[in-house]
Structure 1
Amino acid sequence: MAVSVALSQIMNDLSSTLYATQWLLSGYTIGTAAFLITIGRLADIYGRKQLLIIGICLFAFSSLVAALSLGIYCLMASRFVQGVASSIMMTTVMSIITNEFSPRNRGRVIATYGFFLGLGLASGPAVGGLLISYFNWRAIFLVNLPICMLSLWLVMNYLPKSSRSGNYQRVDWLETTVLTLLLLAAVIMISQGSMIDWQSPLMIALCIVFVLLLVLFIKLEKNKPDPMVDISLFMQPNYLGATICGLLSYFCMYAWLCVIGLYLQNIDHYTALKTGLICTPFSLAFAFSSKALSGLINRYANKTLMQIGFIVIIIALGWMANITPLTNQFLLLIEFFLFGVGITIVNAPSMIAATEHVPLDKAGIASGLIFTIRWLGGSVGIVIVSFFYHRYSESLFYPCMVMLLAALTGLLMTLTLSKSRVSYE
């Protein structure tokens, strides 16, 4: 979120167009979503700690390159690499939590992880704004270096070395490459479909490439004893239903982050910094709800918590559908906070419910699949909800109704889940 605050200054400093500058956000998203499954597979084979160290180093390196960039294309490339590094860290961390903590403690650990993730989201706009005000946009990338150094020291000294899976003997690099390119094409089509004409030669070529890669991947996967995308995971109790609930949660979250920023800046004429600050209650709710959730996660079934979360999301979206330029800012803060609470209550239990029955030697690929599906859900949400936002005179009513329908679908999907808990006391 810090980068979104810096887009205007970056565009002016590097003499870039708005479209090229927006790729700083899209490139990161594409780099993250396209490699999640691949990273999950590699983590199961080569060890999670080793891959996490690589991810931290890669993120530090790409941050340094971004800070030293003299042109927009170099910055775009570094942001893509940052996204790849983020996919490594995201997948390996969840896989490590699944492997290193018992079901009794796993829920609290995931909730604590969500707390610090929320703090990062909450502080991003404010810290980014301060760094830009006192220094320049390059500082938002340089600040990552000491954080990466501290993280690397902690991982190397305190995280036990993870063993390699005995079930996976080697990497099928052809299969890995095809899957990565397949996801890359899918994410680009989804994220850029609303900005590039679907009938343009570029999009037609991309669709053809996607279909060919999909056919090739299915052929490679057929009858393999250890397929890259293990369909048997979806047969695990709650994995499919909880993963779809997570997808719908990300659909609402990323669609809301997109349209609320556009609305506040284009209709209410807020600055980028003010927009980031007024959205801070959402991120604070993400942080502190995660902390509160850690005390509830062993007392109540994941299904019950997710149902409460979707109900809160529905209430918040129904309330926000009536936002106008005359809406009191204090009410905005309450609505954004309530929406963040609902998203948090869905996200952590849905992740726990999806992974609690997954075999430990498949934790990496299972986490990669979950995060890939969630990111794709977020990308689809941005495209669909943005269409309704622009189609209906930049009003929030119809976008909120689309997100509300997605949340209602999620609420109904929870009915397919069993009332399991992370631990039993």
Structure 2
Amino acid sequence: MSVASTAEPRTTPQENPWRSLVVIAFGIMMVALDGTIVAVANPAIGTSLGATLAELQWVTHGYLLGLAVCLITAGKLADRLGHRRLYLVGVAGFTVSSVAIGLSSGTGMLIGFRVVQGAFGAALMPAALGMLRAAFPATLLNRALGVFSGLIGTSAAAGPIVGGLLVSSFDWQAAFFVNLPVGVLALTLGVRYLPPNRPTDDSSSFDLLGVALLTVCTFGIVLALVFAPEHGWTSTATVVPGLAGVVFGVAFVLWQLRAPHPLMPMSMFRSVPLSVGTVVMLIMALAMFGVMFFLTFYVQGVHGFTALEAGLQLLPLTALLAVGPPLASRLFDRFGLRWPILGGLLSAATAMFGMATLSADGGTGLLPLWLTLLGAGLGIVMVGATDAVIGNAPVSLAGVASGMQQTLLQLGGSLGTAILGAVVSGHVGGNLAGQLTAAGAPTPTPAQVAEWQTVVAQGGVVIPPGTAPATAQAITHASHLTFVNGMSLAFVVAGVALTLAAAISALLKRGEPTGEAVVHV
């Protein structure tokens, strides 16, 4: 059948879409904040529960898996059951699981509840975006998406700061208990002020096979991306789940082409803006999360800044990711999708190539300028790519499109840290011995290089016991130089990826408006 969306407002005279946006902001911020707040809480969790480094990593990975695996399926459920209903279920479940995490007596229990928390976050996010898609007319949709993206950016940037205050003032449990009052407030406001529940997909059957195939596909790919930095890209731990993810992904696409009621109709991708938006969103997330990951190592490990000072160094980026998207939405009102997205990607690519010139010696140089260009560019692209994906899907598939957008964001972030991490680690492994020898330090054995590689690839230094001060200084300089050169290479890779995304975004027609496509399903 043919599903055509309309540019007219979909609310009754008594409903206010902007009020709905304010209400769901509490749920949105709770999920985004929890994605980054745990990084600060991890050391305290390790001390309190006696957790190993691998277990602490799974405190983060478990949340990512629960979130990424369930997003698209949760979006489909929101279309079937109603976005308001699934949003409230997501808020309630996220709040309860947060309290359960804080009450955990062991790392196994904590990790299990983190997976559950991620799954409820997956129910919340696409339902919230779906409500925006259904509530706002095309003339206002990208402004709403700009505010939405700004809320996510603000919350993610505030996570380490809020987490640091809570953990230092109380204990690690406070980083999760804080969701209790926020969740109760979000539920209270949601029940009172959100518009009536309206399912947008009235199909009589649910694509259970599609759900199963997509779940295994996403789980395998995310698991491979999680294991790759630790075990290597060619290890069994990486290859087996990655290969399984690809195989089940192909099977999912083939099934969607013939399923009578597909989970994600492939006909959605007949829309050029939607297809371009998926690629741009993935590459944007790759660059954004990958760069933030390594810049933290650079300013703290190489230049010795404290965590607070490092946060201040990254302020131009985080501030623009917070305030830029709402302002950027005005550009899309005036120019459509093509030119703002193209300009934002080129600005971000320029910043990447600029940061590739950062050095291990001296200060941070032009870093504030590059971060300003990067934040401004990514803030524009985030809104534009989100609008291209969600605004060009029919209202009946708003939840599926929203889940896909969030999945791309999560997968892109994992790809960024995994791929750019492999670039940095590979450079360190191949050049550390030569740099140490050139600096006058003893040439390390291959076993020592393998042992030191992970530390140096994160901006650290390994000084053997009893090393003379002059030799220790030479090792430090050579290690930092090797890391920075590897980081520069990674930034060039990210810059090339963003340039490629800019070329792809040029496929959008000149002045093409946002939203409201007709999609045949």
Global fold match (TM > 0.5): yes
1:403 has 2:403 as partner:
no
Alpha-carbon contact 2:65-2:222 (below 8 Å) kept: yes
The answer to which of 112-121 and 394-403 deviates more is: 112-121
Shift of 1:203: 4.3
1:9 corresponding residue in structure 2: 44
Shift of 1:297: 2.9
1:77 corresponding residue in structure 2: 112
2:11 corresponding residue in structure 1: none
1:268 has 2:303 as partner:
yes
Q: Deviations over 1:206-260 (max 9, x none)?
A: 3564466446545644522221221100002411112111111111011112222
Q: 1:280 to 1:57 in 2, by over 3 A?
A: farther
Shift of 1:118: 2.3
1:111 has 2:146 as partner:
yes
Give the counterpart of 2:512 among 401, 420, 423. 420
Give the counterpart of 1:63 among 74, 93, 98. 98
Give the counterpart of 1:196 among 231, 238, 259. 231
Q: What CA distance in whole angstroms lies between the structure 2 residues aligned with 1:17 and 1:277?
A: 30
Q: Deviations over 1:268-321 (max 9, x none)?
A: 344445434533432211111123223333122221111121122122212221
CA RMSD of aligned residues (A): 2.4
The alignment partner of 2:333 has SS state of: coil
Shift of 1:166: 4.6
Give the counterpart of 2:59 among 13, 24, 33. 24
Gaps of at least 5 residues in structure 2 are: 1-35, 428-481, 517-521
Shift of 1:193: 2.0
Shift of 1:201: 5.0
Q: 1:323 to 1:49 in 2, by over 3 A?
A: same
Shift of 1:178: 3.1
Q: What CA distance in whole angstroms lies between the structure 2 residues aligned with 1:208 and 1:23?
A: 21
Higher RCO by CA contacts (8 Å cutoff, separation 6 or greater): 1
Q: What CA distance in whole angstroms lies between the structure 1 residues aligned with 2:336 and 2:203?
A: 33
The alignment partner of 1:228 has SS state of: coil
Bigger-Rg structure (1/2)? 2
2:342 corresponding residue in structure 1: 307
1:240 has 2:302 as partner:
no
Alpha-carbon contact 1:301-1:420 (below 8 Å) kept: yes
Shift of 1:78: 2.1
Aligned length: 424
- Which amino acid is 1:336 matched to? L
Q: What CA distance in whole angstroms lies between the structure 2 residues aligned with 1:377 and 1:24?
A: 19
Alpha-carbon contact 1:320-1:335 (below 8 Å) kept: yes
Q: What CA distance in whole angstroms lies between the structure 2 residues aligned with 1:139 and 1:335?
A: 35
TM-score for both structures, normalised by structure 1: 0.92
Alpha-carbon contact 2:268-2:393 (below 8 Å) kept: yes
Q: What CA distance in whole angstroms lies between the structure 1 residues aligned with 2:216 and 2:256?
A: 15
Alpha-carbon contact 2:227-2:237 (below 8 Å) kept: no
1:318 has 2:353 as partner:
yes
Give the counterpart of 1:253 among 288, 304, 309. 288
Q: What CA distance in whole angstroms lies between the structure 1 residues aligned with 2:201 and 2:162?
A: 44
TM-score for both structures, normalised by structure 2: 0.76
The answer to which of 236-245 and 173-182 deviates more is: 173-182
Q: 1:221 to 1:136 in 2, by over 3 A?
A: same
Q: What CA distance in whole angstroms lies between the structure 1 residues aligned with 2:129 and 2:246?
A: 31
Q: 1:43 to 1:135 in 2, by over 3 A?
A: same
Q: What CA distance in whole angstroms lies between the structure 2 residues aligned with 1:317 and 1:370?
A: 24
Shift of 1:346: 0.5
Alpha-carbon contact 1:114-1:290 (below 8 Å) kept: yes
